[in-house]
Every structure is written in structure tokens, then in C-alpha cells.
Structure 1
Amino acid sequence: VRAAWQWAIDQERIEALNQLLMPLFDFYDIRGWLREGREALKTTVAHLRQLPSTPELLPTFGKALARQGHFYFRLGQYQEAIPLLREGLALFRKLDHPREVVMLLNMLGRIAYRRGEYQEAAVYCQESIELCRRIDYKWGMVNALETLGHCATDQGDYDTARGYHQQGLDIAREVGDWRAIASLLNGLGYTGWRLGEYEAATGYCQESLQIFREIGDRWGTVMALKNLGNIAGDEGDNQQALVWYAEGLTVSRTIGFRWGEAALLNNQGNIALIEGDYHLAKQLCTQSVATWREIGYQYGIAGSLETLGNVAISLAEYDEARACFHEALETAVAIDAVPMILEIFVGVARLCARVGDLAEALRLLAYVNKHAALDQEGKNKTLIAWDELWAQASPEVRAYVQAENDQLQMQDVLTAVLAKLT
């Protein structure tokens, strides 16, 4: 395929390029050869830009442009991907190629989700779904539903997330799209993990991992390994979690999947924190934050900073903890990531307790514990901190916390916490 592709480029055989584009794209994408795919499409797009814009050329050029953007997206290079995808979208709207429009809307929606721009992601995905319904294009609808499910999960709306993922899975099974089936199973597993439904979540993710391995999708394999590691860690099996994470990190680095690398570094840092290896935890999470910043993934930045804040508390670096929590909280608030905001509150409560403000620590934990968007990981952290601190509280502090708990609203808590961290 690659030899034929190069020949078609050299000879400027547009019809041959059009026929070979999808086989070449699939060749690189399924195998996880993301950097090689990016370079192959980059060379192609640069060559095609030099040719006259004929009716024969434009669809092929647009498809190559979109696939180049796809590889940048898969590599976590969102700033490079977005202008390519927008250029392709404008071209295919003009050419009236609705399926290509759907694909580009879906990719732009997924990037918006990854950047924490949930409202923008929803706009892209809803337009995609409406267009898919008009042209009866079920495959395109699956991808949009999956993205909407991820957005709902990150915002703590777990029932809605599960509904989107299940709807997408049903359609994927109907059309026989195994890659989408595996991805949506993994999405259901991720939501199950967030809800603490570990047995069901493990089943979804194991099935997802098996399919990804069978079809040779290394990008998807990383996502399933990450989720299985998360589940194992929450169930207390840190060694198994590290096995899953290590395999996922190796694959991520092999294929240049920076999103996966950043996520797995942070997860390894969490395990190191739990096991008391604070300097290793700091090293891993610092690498994670740096990679998230390069990618622009706001949820990831907030999550790794939250971990670093807790590491700083354990190292008695309280000013550093304040700085980490402050940036993490502002980032999470900006993208309306309520579960992340609640986890940061737990970290701030630990900090308050360390610096002698036990009443404020317990007040924060009481608020977090009653919030509907709190996921199982957050509940575990909250209850551990609560049990430790409640035992230290005087009757007066306990009475204050119980009286305050009924009155607290999110905006009031946010204002108070940000003031403490400034």
C-alpha cells in the first residue's frame, strides 16, 4: 500500500490516491503508527496544495487534510489538528459531502471534549447527530454519542453518560463496527468505575481490551489498560494496577500517544502517593502536568495538579500545595468539571487540617460527601479523611460542622476555598 501510495503521489494520479487513501489511513491508524501516519499525510497534503484546485482533486485533498488532522489529534497535538480539521470541514460543507462533514464534526467535538470545552463539544456532536439522522448514517452517530457520554461523565452526570454510551453501543453492534463496540464498552467501564461498580466495570473493560487486541488497535488498548488499572487501584490491588499502567505506558510511548502517557504517569503517581513514595509521586505527576499542558487537556491538568497538591501536603510543602490546588481549582471551574472540583476540595480539606483549621477541613468534607456528582474514587478519599479528622474534633467543632453543612452552596464554597488558597 505504501509503495503504491508513493507512486501515485509522484505521478500525481488523483484517482489512485483517492482509492488508496483509506487503506493507507487504516494501515497506520489501526496499528498505532501515528507518527508515521502523520508524516505520510503531511507530505501528501503539502504536495496536493501545489496542484490546481480541480473538481477531481478537491475531495481527495479534503480527505487527506482530515486524516492528517486525525493523526495530530491521536497524538494529542490539538493545536496542529484544529486548523486542519476546520479547513477540511469548510471544504466539505462547500462540496456537500455530508459523511466527511460528520467525521470532521466528530473529531472537532472530541478535541473540544479533551480540552474541557464541553459546550463546544456538545454543539459539534449535536450537529453531527442531526446530520446523521438526515442521511441515515449510523456509524457517524456512534462517535458523537460516545463523546457526549464522556462529557457527561466528566461533569458528574453519570446516568446521562451511561445512556449515551449504551445508545452508541447498540448502534455499533447493529452496524458491526468492532472498534466502536470496544470503545463504547470501555466508556461504560469508565463510568462504572467512577460509580464504584467495579465488577461490572471490569467486565466491560476486559471485553473492550480483548477486542482492541484482536483488531490490533494499540490506541484503544491503552485506554482499556488505563481503566483496568484504575479499577484495580480502587479495589486496593496496587501491584496489579501498576502492571496495567506499565503496559499502557509502554504502548503509549511506542506509538507516540501523549494523552495516554500523561494519564498513566499521573495514575502511577497516585499509586506512589498512596504507598508513601512522595518524591517519586512528585516526579511522575510533574511529568504528567507538563505533557497535559503541551496537549492543552484542561481536565488532565487539573487532575495532575490535584495529585501534586496532595503530594506537597505529605512533604509538608504547604505553600506549594496551595499553589497546586489553586490552579487546579480554577482550571476545573473553568470547564465545569464538578467531580474534579469535589476531589480538589478534599485535598484542600487535608491542607486545612495540616495547618490547624480542623473545623474548615470537616466543613469542606461534609459538603463534598453529600454532593450528587461525587464519584466513587472521591467518596473513598472523602471518607478516609473524614474518619481521621472527625475523631480529632471537639464537640464544639462537630456542632459547628453539622450546623454549617445544611447551609452550604457550591458557589459559596468555591469563593471561600479560592480565598484561602490565594
Structure 2
Amino acid sequence: ILCGLAIFQGGFQRNAAEHIVGASLPLLATLVSKSLVRRTESGRYDLHEVIRQYAQAHLAEDSARETAIRNRHSEYYLEKLCCREKDLKSSALRETLRELTDEIDNLRAAWVWAFEHEKFATLGDAVMGFGRLFELGGWLREGIEQIEPVVQVLRRKAENAERNLVLGKALGQQALLWFRWGKFEHAMTVFDESIDLLRPLNHPAALTHSLVYGSVILHLNGDTERAQTRLHEGFECARAAHDDWFIAYALLNQGYIASLMGRYEEGYRQMMEAIVTWRKLGDPQAIALGLNFLSPTVVHLRRYAEAEANMRESLELCEQAGNRWGMGTAYRFWGLAALAQGKLDEAESLIYKSLDVLHKLSTGWDIVLCHIYLAEIKVAQKDPGEAKLIFEEAIKMGMEIQAIPLVLDALIGLAGLHAQAGENEQSLEFAICVANHPAATQEAKSRAEKLVAELTPRLSPQQIETAQVRVRQKCFDEIIGQVELGEHARAHGNWAKR
């Protein structure tokens, strides 16, 4: 029995020892009394490392027995992961996350053993819970790396329904982790591959994940039409699978898109409906997510007290669950609410808190949006030089990840600064670009149109026509290239003092 216990990694629970090795409670008590096994304050058991290594060496002498025990170990923990997946989206989330985190070393070992012995059906059953656990735990890079060998081996195998289902699900989870890491372009490529594999299989429960999460990237990158199409398909798949959690997620994003298009009351109603569903399910992570992304709409509707109350609740939920990404997001949107009310010092402090949290977890979209808010704060603080530098950095980062709506948000902010500095032709060119770009949000378009109206009396008809022609003749990258050229020129001038 002691040799069998050596296969556990990071300790074990009594039930696992009995199921996998046949170690009854009295037998464990005997081993504890002889100091061969330790019982921790939490009720878990483990072996001293020297004893574990000694027992493992003896187990290795009987390869058939070792293989049988490791098979049972892998099956037990991967089945646990599969069975607890729904609990990771419910009121049991905190308890389940603590339990699975305690078992993380056993789960890793179980995953690796199943992969090495090509138990792909078992991995396919567990991969949804695996991805969710690594997402919630913040182990994004490790999760990607653990799934990658499975993906590579399955890609080389002959196509059939079973292979495509497991590969499609694995790719969907890997794409989610890339997405949470801020690597949108790569995540979208992986989501697309997942969808292509899963769509012909008539498996709505598996397909929902990639459709809904992939649609989020599409609308964040400005491809609203495709995002809405995929969201609708994802919503219908979620309904077919009776998956209330994903029905709510699809509704949340439909509402978010409605708000981006200027339909704020409609967007508010849809997002609130999603949050109500998540409250019924009791998932604190999802509730916090909903409250966070409802915030820009609430701020636009000038319901500032509601926005701040939502962020307080979100932070409390995130702190209880150890949800660092949610905390960073809540600080950012609370900063937006403070900015809208003219509480500039508070807004700046909150954005820096957000950046401090998010820089440790993510790259890309979250960081770019924080920079845009920070630049807007600097504008309100009448610090145009610093605001301009931050807008330019946001544009540079946004172009690197092709987050075009964010680039346009920063560009209209930059256009406003050019107008303040008397650089009206440059300001007009940027404003026209934003007003006419299909990826611009309704808010950005409205700001651009307002700025064009303000600039028109300051310029001659010839200057206006020249700006319009330049925008028509240049591609978007060329217009953005002017930002970098301007940055280089100002490094040798006194623009910030104007």
C-alpha cells in the first residue's frame, strides 16, 4: 500500500487513497502512527519526500502494478475534473477551486499520464474543466503548454468524429487561455480552427464555447457584424445544450455590442438579464465579469452611484475568489466612473491600481484600454504633453495587437489634443478617419463628428478638402504612421508647452 501511495503528487485525500490504492482509513491511521504517512491540519495526507522516493523505487520494480495504479490515478483525477466543471460555474466555485487547487499536482500528473498513453477520449472529457481551472487559477501560459502536446499529436492523426471532437474542444480551451493572456490574434486563429472542427459534429455543448468566446474577440477588434453572427449561433447552441451559463454570456455580449453601437438602454437591459441569470447560478466570477463590463454603459447613462456600487461588489467577489483579472478590470472601470465625475486624482489612482494588477497577468487589450483612460485623465488635468505621449503609446500597442476600435478611441483623443495645440489640419484628418472607420464605436464616431464640426469654421474649404482627400487616399496604417512620425518630430521640439 505504501508503495502505491507514492504515486500521489502534493498529497492526497482519504477517498482517493482508498479508490486508487485500496488504503482504508484504519490502514492510513496505522501508517500515520508509524510516521510513514503524515496527516495535515486540513485533513490531507502526504509522504515525506525521502519515504516517497523509496516507495516509488519499490513500486517501479513491478511495472504491471505501477501501470495499473497510475491508470487508476489518472482516471480518478481526470474524472474529478470532468465532474466538477459545472461547479466551477456555480455557487460552489470557491470551494471547488480550493479543492482542485489543492489537487493541482495530481491533476497535472493525471493529465500527462493520459497524454503519454494516448487516452484522448478521457482527455476530451476533462479538457473543458481543465481549461476553466487554469483560466480561474491564472495559470494561462502553463495551461496553453499542457494542452499543446495533445493538439499537436491529434493534428497528425487521421480525421474522424472522435478525433475532431477532442481536438476541437482542446483548441477551444487553449484559445480561451490565449484570449485571457491578451493574445487576441492567435486566440482567434485557434478559435476558428476549433469551430471548423466542431460545427459538422452536431455537438452544441462543445461548439458553444468557441463561438461565444470567439465572438468577444471579434467585437473587441471591431468586426461587429461577424461578432453578432457568431453570438447568435452561440446563443442558439447554448439553448440547444440547455447551458444557462453560456446563454447569459451570449446575452452579456449582445448587450455590450448594443452599447458600443449607441443603444445604451437596450444594452443595459440585456446585460442586466445576463447578470440576473448568473446570480441565480451563483457564479461569483461571472457576476463580477457582468458587473465590470456593464460599467461603461452605466457610466454613459450617468448612473454613477450604481457604477461605483457595482465595482465595490465586483471587487469584493474577486477578492474572495482570488480573481486578479477581475480585480484589475474593476479598478479600471471604477476609474472610468471617477473620471466621468471629475474625480481626477481618484481616477488616476484607480487606473494605476488596475495596471499594477493587469501587467502581471495580461498583455494587449486590457493594458491599452487602461492607457486610453489614463490619457483622458491627463487631458482633464490639463497636461497635454503627457496625455499625448500616453495616447501615442496606446496607439502603438493597439496596432501591435490589431485592436482597431481601441486605436480609434486613442486617435480621436489625440485629434482633440492637436486641435487644442492649433494643429487643425492634422486634427481634422484624424477626426475624419475615425468618423468614417467601420470599426469605430458609436461614442468615438460621435466625438469625431463633433470635432469635425468644431474645426470646420477654423479652416478654409481648400484645407478641408485636402484633409478629406488625404484620408481617402491613405490606408489606415499610413494615417497611423503619421502618429509615429509626429512623435519623433516632437521629441526635438516643445509641443507639450504649447
Q: Give the Cα–Cα distance (whole angstroms) in 2 for the partners of residues 233 and 212 of structure 1.
A: 23
- Rounded to whole Å, the distance in 1 between the matches of 2:354 and 2:141 is 18
> Is residue 207 from structure 1 mapped to residue 313 from structure 2 by the alignment?
yes
C-alpha spacing 1:39/1:290, structure 2 compared with 1 (3 Å): farther
For 2:192, which of 86, 110, 115 is the aligned residue?
Answer: 86
What is the CA-CA distance between 1:419 and the residue it aligns to? 7.3
User: Paired residue for 1:26, among 124, 132, 135?
Assistant: 132
Matching of residue 239 in structure 1 with residue 345 in structure 2:
yes
| Structure 1 residue 277, shift from structure 2 partner | 2.1
Q: Contact 1:252 / 1:258 at 8 angstroms: preserved in 2?
A: no
By how many angstroms is 1:27 displaced?
3.4
The match for 2:380 is 274
Contact residue 75 and residue 259 of structure 1 kept, 8 A: no
Q: Percent identity?
A: 25
Contact 1:14/1:56 (8 A) holds in 2: no
Partner of 1:254, secondary structure, is coil
1:259 maps onto 2:365 in alignment: yes
CA distance in 2: counterparts of 1:6 and 1:72, whole angstroms: 21
Q: In structure 2, what is the equivalent of residue 296 of structure 1?
A: 402
1:348 and 2:427 aligned:
no
- Cα offsets for 1:154-191 (capped at 9, x unmatched): 11101110111121112212222222221222233321
1:193 aligns with 2:283: no
Deviation at 1:90, TM superposition (A): 2.6
2:424–2:459: 8 Å Cα contact kept in structure 1? no
Q: Which amino acid aligns with 2:450?
A: V
- For residues 167-182 of structure 1, the aligned pairs below 5 Å read 167-182=273-288
Q: TM-score normalised to the size of structure 1?
A: 0.78
Task: Give the match for residue 110 of structure 2.
Answer: 4
8 Å CA contact 1:219–1:257 kept in 2: the answer is no
Does the alignment pair 1:337 with 2:478?
no
1:286-325 equivalences under 5 Å are 286-325=392-431
Q: Once superposed, which parts of structure 1, at least 4 consecutive aligned residues long, lie more than 6 Å away?
A: 414-417, 419-422
Distance 1:205 1:166 in 2: 15
From 145, 159, 169, give the equivalent of 1:39: 145
- Deviation readout 1:102-148 (Å, 9 max, x if unpaired): 11211222122112222222221222223333332211201110110
- What one-letter code is carried by the residue in structure 2 that aligns with 1:192? V
Evaluate the alpha carbon distance shift between residue 330 and residue 75 of structure 1 in structure 2; reply closer, same or farther with a 3 A threshold: farther
1:70 is matched with which residue: 160, 168, 176? 176
Match status 1:144 vs 2:144: no
Matched, 1:116 2:198: no
CA shift, 1:20, in A, is 4.4
What is the aligned-residue RMSD (CA, Å)? 2.7
Of 195-204 and 271-280, more deviation after overlay is shown by 271-280
Segment drifting more, 321-330 vs 251-260:
321-330
Q: Name the count of aligned residue pairs.
A: 363
Q: d(CA) in 2 for partners of 1:263 and 1:57?
A: 39
Distance 1:338 1:270, change over 3 A: same
User: In structure 2, do the counterparts of structure 1 residues 7 and 415 end up closer, same or farther at CA, with 3 Å as the change threshold?
Assistant: farther
- Whole-angstrom CA distance in 2 between matches of 1:63 and 1:266: 35
Alpha-carbon spacing, 1:7–1:131, altered in 2? closer, same or farther (3 Å): closer
1:113 alignment partner AA: H
Distance 1:263 1:33 in 2: 23
TM-aligned CA deviation for residue 54 of structure 1? 5.7
Residues 11 and 315 from structure 1, CA distance in 2 versus in 1: closer, same or farther, beyond 3 angstroms?
A: farther
Deviations 1:270-325 (A, max 9, x none): 11122222222111111111222222223212110011112223333334323322
Instruction: Work out whether residues 131 and 177 of structure 2, in 8 Å CA contact, stay in contact via their aligned partners in 1.
Output: no
- Of 102, 105, 123 in structure 1, the residue corresponding to residue 208 of structure 2 is 102
Structure 1 residues 386-409: Cα deviation after superposition (integer angstroms, max 9, x where no partner) = xxxxxxxxxxxxxxxxxxxxxxxx
Alignment partner of 1:160 is 2:266: yes
Which whole-Å CA distance do the structure 1 matches of 2:262 and 2:385 have between them?
Answer: 31
Q: 1:17 to 1:313 in 2, by over 3 A?
A: same
Go from structure 1 to structure 2 and tell me whether the alpha carbon gap of 1:41 and 1:313 turns closer, same or farther (over 3 Å shift). Answer: farther
8 Å CA contact retained: 1:248, 1:260: no
Q: Which runs of 5+ in 1 are unaligned?
A: 358-413
CA deviations on 1:200-230 (whole Å, 9 max, x unpaired) are: 1111122122212222222222222111000
Please tell me whether the aligned partners of residues 322 and 421 of structure 1 are also in contact (alpha carbons under 8 angstroms): no
TM-score, normalisation: structure 2 = 0.67
Q: Shift of the alpha carbon at 1:10?
A: 3.0
From the superposition, tell whether residues 56 and 118 of structure 1 become closer, same or farther in structure 2 (CA, over 3 Å): closer
1:25–1:132 Cα change, 3 Å: closer
Deviation at 1:83, TM superposition (A): 2.9
Q: What corresponds to 1:393 in structure 2?
A: none
CA contact (8 A) 1:182 1:208 kept: yes
Would you say the 8 A contact 1:31–1:218 is kept in 2? no
Structure 2 distance, partners of 1:415, 1:176, is 57
- The answer as to 2:231 corresponding to 1:125 is yes
Q: Deviations over 1:345-395 (max 9, x none)?
A: 333355457x478xxxxxxxxxxxxxxxxxxxxxxxxxxxxxxxxxxxxxx
Question: Any unmatched runs of 5+ in structure 2?
Answer: 1-106, 473-498
